[in-house]
Amino acid sequence: MTDRLYSKGRVLGYERAKRTQNPNVSLLKLEGVQTTEDARFYLGKRVAYVYYANKEKNGSKLRVIWGRIARTHGTSGVVKARFRKNLPPKSFGASVRVMLYPSNI
């Protein structure tokens, strides 16, 4: 039994075409999600990219960029997410927390 109230995911990169990329939309691979039907459960859920900065703010070096899952991408369980501030490129390959709210069940 786990004590965490979130699901894990990984940042794959920005939404992109052959020559251009769109930093407003990030692609996420969610843990345990293999199909589009599974990914639909996560639509509208909040996503947190948690990282540590060098400078302390409000007594903590911990920072968070919040986002929301917008839609599915492809057939293998990848989703598109929009964040309040675009994710930095150093976040590619990093893990994100997918909160299980707002709930629609």
Q: What is the pLDDT of the chain when averaged over all its residues?
A: 95
Q: Is the pLDDT of residue 30 over 70?
A: yes
Residue 105 pLDDT: 74
Query: So what's the pLDDT on residue 49?
Result: 98
Q: Cis link prior to 88 (omega < 30° from 0)?
A: no
Confidence grade of residue 9 (pLDDT, cut at 50, 70, 90): very high
pLDDT at 52 over 60: yes
CA distance 28 to 76: 11
Q: Helix or strand or coil: residue 94?
A: coil
Largest CA distance in the chain: 45
Is this structure's pTM higher than 0.75? Answer: yes
Q: With bands split at pLDDT 50, 70 and 90, how would you rate the model's confidence at 63?
A: very high
Residue 100, pLDDT > 70, answer yes
> Does residue 81 surpass a pLDDT of 60?
yes
